[in-house]
Each structure stands twice: as C-alpha cells, then as structure tokens.
Structure 1
Amino acid sequence: MQFGIFTVGDVTTDPTTGETPDDTQRVRSMLRIAQHADQAGLDVFATGEHHNPPFVPSSPTTMLGYLAGVTRNLVLSTSTTLITTNDPVKIAEDYAMLQVISDGRMDLMMGRGNTGPVYPWFGYDIRQGIPLAIEHYALLRRLWEEEVVDWEGRFRTPLQGFTSTPRPLDGVPPFVWHGSIRSPEIAEQAAYYGDGFFHNNIFWPMSHTKRMVEYYRQRYEHYGHGRADQAIVGLGGQVFMRRNSQDAWNEFRPYFDNAPVYGHGPTMEDFTTTTPLTVGSPQQVVDRYASMREHVGDYQRQLFLIDHAGLPLKTVLEQIDMLAEDVVPVLREEMEAKRPAHVPADPPSHAERVARARAEKEEVR
C-alpha cells in the first residue's frame, strides 16, 4: 500500500507568529517538503493545482518535473489536475513529458476544482463542470492512445490529423485517478475507464465516503474491469502529531481556529469526531487510519495533508518524520496482513502497465 502526502499550497499566516510567507517562500517550502518525504521513505508526493490566491501551485508539471530530478523513489502525482479548465491537448503533452522525464515515476488525478471564478478566467462556465470533465477526459484518452486524432466536440476547436508529443513512455499512458468529493458522475467515469478513484474526504464523514467508494466499486465491476474489491481506491486525510496527545492539541488549536479552511466553523473537537482529521499521538493516528478499511474496504493509497494552515516548515518536516517512522510502518503491516491475496496492494506501476499492454498484444497475435 502506498502512503504519502499532498499539498494544496495555501499561503496562510502563522497565527502564533503573525508571519506570512510570500509566494516564493511557499513554493520553495513545498519543494523542500517533497524532498524530505523522499528521504524519509514515504511513497507519494502530490500537489494541487490552483490559479487563485491564497494558493501558489499553478503549474504542477513544472514543480513535479523539478522534483523528478532531485528525488529518487517518490511517485510524483497531483492531488488535482483541472480537467475542466485546462485544454486536454496541453494536459496530454505536459504529463507525457513528465512521464518521460520521471521515467514513469508519476501519475495524476483529474479533478474539477471548486473555485467558481476560475472557470471564466479560462473561458468556461462552472455550470458545465461535469460535461467538461467527461468530454475533456475522453479526448485526453484518445490523444494518449492514438497516434493521429480527428476529433470534434462541444468545448474546444476541432482537431484534424493531430499528434500529441511526446508520445507516452513505452507507449503506455500515465495511470489516472479521478478525484471527487460528492459527484457520482465522476466515480462513474473512473469506473467506466477502469481508472483509480480518489475520495479526498478531509471535510466529510466516513458515511459519505463509504457511499461514494461503494458506488465506484460496483460500477467498476459492472464494466468488467475486475471484482468490486479489486478496484483501485485512494483516500485523503489530515493529521497533526506530537508524542504527547495533549501537546498536539495545544499546538495545533490556534492553527485550526484561524486557518481559512477550518476557522470560524465547527470546533476542533467536533471536526476531529466527524472527519478524518486526527490530532494526537502517532498511535492515535495509527488506530484511526487502520479503521478506514472497515468503511471502504482494502484500498491502495492513503495521502495526508500536513503542510496547511500556516504551519511552519520545521513543524511540517517533523510531521513527515513521525509519519515515516511511527505511523506508516505500522499501518502498512496492519493493512497488508488483512488484505486478501486477490486484491492489489498498490496502484499499477508503469512497469506493470507496460507488461500488461505487451501481454494483451501477444494475445491478439
């Protein structure tokens, strides 16, 4: 099973010091965080995509391309690639390039984004979010899978005799996740193509997450990609840890109370009860996240949000160390001990997908 971290790249004032990083500092801290995660032995680093303050990761492939050159083992991914407002031709080119640069050590997650004003900035209407996601992804698949594409749709100019370059590494496109919090249409899309489904449930109760994942699993089996329990599932989460549980609560409370994504809503006590946010000791994090499989079944990727809300870089690096040393090894052992032999432990790697594609070609012959 893969464990890693994801970032939304928010620029937030540290409520304990009053200091606010500028955009340059925030980008550089994200790079440092990813490299530290690689050195600590985590499996995945994923970045969001945003085009509005207070967020800075507007160009995920630039960041991930750099990280491909300075990390050794991390799977480099996105926690959102905006399939709605990005041109699918540019997505095809950018991520095939990243695939080549990283030697296949990457994947990506398609998402619609939840910031309304972004849509008109790129010439689209948020009310068309679902149709855009469906049409753009269908085109993206063809651009990766077909050498020459003729295409016409609703939302962009037609293509005639178009070849996207570079071609996918070894002729096999990157593995794709579809991220959605509340839209069954996106879970359906993931199931239809046999792709992964990622439920970033950081603000939602597990009862909702369970319903979304169950629906995806049922439709995955319906489309003939395998048994429902073999579908590729990922979850989001967020934690803050100290050796002593009360120290964690005392230290994280001002960040929770003041952060734009948390503050002025439910209390931290209520939020940790109703969502996966876990504040406490490493053992409490292990206990909470080991129970996730009881709600969604055996799954393949768990990502944690740990660098948000104005937390200083030093603190984030400490959180990575605790994850890598005290949480992930125990979780991995517990999860794998209970996983049936027929259920994949990880999302398919590039090498596995290449081998499968070659085997399918041999069968055709």
Structure 2
Amino acid sequence: MELGIGMFGDVAFVKTTGKYKDAGVKLREILEEVKLMDEVGIDVFAIGEHHRPEYAVSSPAILLAAAASITKKIKLASGVTVLSSSEPVKVYQDFSTLDLISDGRAEIYVGRGSFIESFPLFGYSLNDYEELFDEKLDLLLKINSEENVSWKGKLRAPMENQTVYPRAKNNGKLPIWRAVGGTPQSVLNAAKLGMPLVVAIIGGMPIQFRNLIEFYKQEYLKAGFPESEMQIAIHSHAFVSEDQNVIDGYFENYKSQMDRIGSTRGWAPYTKMQYEGGRMKDGALFIGNSEQVADKINYMKEIFGITRFIGHMDVGAPEHDIMMESIKLFGEKVGPKVK
C-alpha cells in the first residue's frame, strides 16, 4: 500500500487586488513541499497539468525534474498528463529523461483531463476528443515498449522504424497509469491493456465506485494479466491538521476554488453542509485529523482493495506553512496508521 500526495499548483486569488498571487513563489513552495514529502516517507508525488490562471503548473515534467534533484526516494508522477493534446514522442522523452535524472522514479498518469483549454491552445479540435486520446495512447504505449517504432494512425503522421531516445531505466519502460473519472468504457480500456488504474473520487460517496473498480478487476483478469501485477489507486481531496480551527478555516480555501471552477460549469455555490458531509466516513473528502484521515484510507483499502492512495492536498491554495504541517502529519502520523 503506497501513500501519495497530489497537487495542481493552485494559486490563491487576492480579492483586494483582483489578481492571482505570484506563480513563481508557488512553484518554489511546491518544491519545498516535495522535499519534505521525501523526508517524511511519502511514496509518490503527482502534479497535474493545467493551462488556466488558477494553476501554476502547465508542464509537470519540468517541475518534477526540479523535484528529482532535491529528493531521493519519492516517485514522481504526472497527475495527469493531458494526452489528447500532447505529443506522445515528447511525453515519453520528457519522462524518460526525468526517469534517468531521478534514477528510475518517474511515472506517467495519462487522462483526458477535466478542462479543455489545452485543445485550442495546441491546435486540436474538440471534435476529435475521443479519437485523439485513443490514438495517442496507442502510440505512447508502443514507444514505451519498443525502441524502434513503426506506427500509423489517422490524426498524426505515421512513424516508420523510428527510434525514440533516451530510453527509461527499466529496459526503456515507464510505469504508465490510466487516470479515469468514472467512465466504464475508460475503465474497460485500461483493463484490456493491463494498465494500472487511478480513479479520481472527488465527490459523492466512494462506495458508489465499488462496482466500477470490481469491473476493472474482472476485465483485467479476463484479459489474461496476472493478479499479482494489478495496481489500483484512488485520488481524492485531502488535508490533515490536528487543529480543528485549521480544518474549519480550510473550508474557505476549498469553497473559493470550487466556486471559481463551478462558476464556469454551472455549479451551485459550495456549502458548509457539503464540506462537512464530505468529511464524514462515507464522504469523499479526506479532510480532518490524522486519525480520521487514516481511518478513511483504511476504509478505502477494505472496500476497494487499492494498492495506492493519492491525497490531493492543495485545493484552494492553503498557506505554505499550513501545507507543510499537513504533509508532515500525512507522512509521520497517517502513514504508520495505514501501513
């Protein structure tokens, strides 16, 4: 059972100025936080890709390479790489380079992403939304398994016996996880390919995902892959403090970010009732003291049989010192209670 921390690099919005805080400061804070994660025994750090003013990270590989130079053990993953609007050759090269810098600690989570800004930004049509992902995943997996690549698709130029360098440490192979939001077809595709699965559970009740995860297990085994190699993770919003005042105050950070995103999607304003409901045992928010958070993670192990839990910990851009304390508690108190 591995424990990880995920982030998007949320940048705080200052109401008095009507502007976001400095992204450079945020990036340097994240690096300090990852260094602490490594020191307190966190297994994985995952950083997402976005192209919006609310987030400081548009290129996970560059930030992870910086983190590789100041850490020793922690695995370094994208969470997620928006593969539909990325070039698979460059994705592999970036992460194989990261893998060599970090001595074999790089991973890729691939997904469609929950935002669409990258499509027009990089010149892709949303009309090709599904086909872009499927085709690019096929190419990325081929590059990951073969040094000399011959491949043909519809939306990208073919490759004829072309080589992709540098090769990752483990015989050229990187761990590539399939990140999903709960679509059965995506889960089925991941199972048929034998890909490790990471499910984002950020609302409602996690128990509602049990059938989906059982479906993955069933189809993974049916496809002929060994049970011993099956890996399943969930990725949920998390925050740890032994001070109830901090937990109560974090609601404002959480609400501010949810409302900013929700305003573009037609969501109703986020309420304290939703926050407290999510924090209950059956809810999807892993926010509370170390015992509460550990108990919920252990509950996820019980109902899903997961091999990895990623706590997404920077929603709403909490202050750096509060984040550092949350990370420390996650590693030193939650970790031992789970492991």
Q: Same fold (TM over 0.5)?
A: yes
Question: Residues 20, 149 of structure 1: CA spacing in aligned structure 2 closer, same or farther, 3 A cutoff?
Answer: closer
Residue 207 (structure 1) shift: 3.2
Q: Is the 8 A contact 1:107 1:174 kept in 2?
A: yes
1:1-365 aligned at under 5 Å gives the runs 1-13=1-13, 20-227=20-227, 231-244=230-243, 246-259=244-257, 260-261=260-261, 264-267=269-272, 268-273=275-280, 275-296=283-304, 298-332=305-339
Contact 1:241 1:248 in 2 (8 A): no
Q: 1:97 to 1:242 in 2, by over 3 A?
A: closer
- Contiguous gaps of at least 5 residues in structure 2: 263-267
Which has the larger displacement, 207-216 or 7-16? 7-16
Higher mean alpha-carbon deviation, 62-71 vs 248-257, is at 248-257
Distance of 1:153 and 1:15 partners within structure 2: 48
Alpha-carbon spacing, 1:35–1:18, altered in 2? closer, same or farther (3 Å): farther
Residues 219/100 of structure 1: CA separation in 2 closer, same or farther (3 Å cut): same
CA RMSD, 1 decimal: 2.3
For residue 261 of structure 1, report the CA deviation from its aligned partner. 4.9
CA distance in structure 2 between the partners assigned to 1:323 and 1:15 by the alignment: 31
Report the Cα distance in structure 2 between the residues aligned to 1:116 and 1:62, rounded to whole angstroms. 21
Q: Is the 8 A contact 1:178 1:196 kept in 2?
A: yes
1: CA distance, partners of 2:94 / 2:311: 26
Corresponding residue pairs, total: 329
Judge conservation of contact 2:200–2:236 (CA < 8 Å) in 1: yes
Q: How far 1:17 moved relative to its partner? A: 12
Q: Which amino acid aligns with 1:164?
A: V
**Structure with the larger strand share:** 2
Once the two structures are TM-superposed, the CA of residue 191 in structure 1 deviates from its matched residue by 1.2
Unaligned runs of 5+ in 1: 333-365
User: Normalising to structure 1: TM-score of the pair?
Assistant: 0.83
Give the partner amino acid of 1:232: Q
Report the alpha carbon displacement of residue 58 of structure 1 after superposing the two structures with TM.
Answer: 1.1
Find the aligned partners of 2:247 and 2:147 in 1 and give their Cα distance. 55
SS class of match (1:10): coil
Report if the CA contact (8 A) 1:14-1:311 is conserved.
no
Paired AA for residue 258 in structure 1: S
**Structure 2 CA distance, aligned partners of 1:37 and 1:15?**
31
Q: CA deviation at 1:35?
A: 0.7
Runs of 4+ displaced beyond 6 Å: 14-19
